[in-house]
A = this chain, B = another copy of it.
């Protein structure tokens, strides 16, 4: 049975529009490595009643309960008292902690405020976790279902305490467990179409857990397997992951969750010793910006042309004026001519071109707002595709940029 944890981040500032709890990310990472799943996170203000109630709820549900913050010396630091009340435990002055506090203040040559003595009180039965970076010790308490811990709020005190004090205490309590993750980054398919395709595979399994994360033109499918051995976790990931990989084919552009499409395209260009140029109209420079986002992009990126006006398409990219007159600037022949022009002018091996109606105005009956022509010119051929996006300006530009990069990826894969 999997162990579960909940995290409570305490502090009224964490409930303002300006601040966010990031401490829980560190705790989550360390707990996951132990095979413990974080099933809920909560943020509360410095409010004794609310914290107390939340602690009671959490210890009733989850094996491990971690409270972060509210261990300071001031009156609004109420975590200790709230937990004591929730669990019906007394707070007791620890003489050892008192003397640690006193010597710490002596060491930094500062008078100890009277309030600071509150930090020397421990929950009945709790073990103090030393804090070399601050005055508030952490506390570790075994409970019926598992454990409860109090951690200080400042990240530079909390993080080392998690790694050096908390995790070593939890490890013997947790049955050995392995968690492994397999990821697919996907483009060229919408979220619901993706789900229609792969849900029949993954919904048969509760382990691994499958999640789909979606941003415009970009999907991340993650399988997370829990098992007793690495072998077993790998087997589970293979069992569910392989059929998914087969269904998606070259729509999967990476199996590294942190590798965006422009990084994949950059690697492929390097591998082929190829270079690229861009000719953009509706994407306004976004394709070039993506291609140059990562260090070292000057190895393969030669030039970008943002030719918004017809005159620029003619002057810079040598698009024949009669082509624009006959077909308009948003058309298959003009997209193709833009890509070929960019390739010729820059001397790059490949060139990408975009032209379309990003909206909200413009468009024709045949090519309404949202229509984009994407072209790629290579040493061997020029290809143009037409896509109709039903989306706002920002999404049309983002989706067209992604699709343009993907055109290049697919052509490089084939060559």
Contact = CB atoms under 8 A, between A and B. Distances in A.
Contacts of A14: 41
Interface in A1-44: 12-18, 20-22, 25-26, 28-29, 32, 37-44
Contacts of A195: 73-75, 113, 115
Contacts of A361: 295-296
Given A57-B57, A192-B116, A214-B72, A285 B295 contact: no
A50 interface: yes
Contact of A302 (B28, B110, B298, B312): B312
Contacts of A286: 285, 289
Interface stretch (A167-175, A246-254, A390-398): A390-398
Contacts of A72: 191-192, 214
- Copy number of this protein in the oligomer? 2
A115 B196 CA distance: 7
Interface size class of A (residues with CB under 8 A): 35 or more
A71 to B, nearest CB: 12
A363 interface: no
A20 B20 contact: yes
B295 A360 contact: yes
A-side binding surface: helix, strand, loop or mixed?
mixed
B196 A113 contact: yes
A215 B18 CA distance: 12
Given A285-B292, A392-B133, A394-B156, A20 B22 contact: yes
B292 A284 contact: yes
Contact of A389 (B74, B108, B316): B108
A115 B192 CA distance: 7
Interface stretch (A303-311, A332-340, A407-415): A303-311
A366 to B, nearest CB: 13
B42 A15 contact: no
B108 A211 contact: no
Contacts of A397: 293
B50 A39 contact: yes
Interface of A: 12-18, 20-22, 25-26, 28-29, 32, 37-47, 50, 54, 57, 72-76, 104, 107-110, 112-116, 132-133, 154, 156, 190-193, 195-196, 199, 203, 209-215, 222, 257, 278, 280, 283-289, 291-298, 301-309, 311-312, 315-316, 345-347, 358-361, 370, 388-395, 397
13 contacts: A17-B28, A20-B21, A75-B195, A156-B394, A288-B288, A289-B289, A297-B308, A303-B306, A303-B316, A304-B305, A304-B306, A316-B316, A316-B345
Given A113-B196, A295-B359, 5 more contacts: A108-B390, A109-B388, A156-B394, A156-B395, A306-B306
> Which 10 A-B pairs have CB atoms at the shortest separation, nearest pair first?
A108-B390, A304-B306, A284-B292, A285-B288, A285-B285, A17-B29, A113-B192, A285-B289, A74-B195, A41-B43
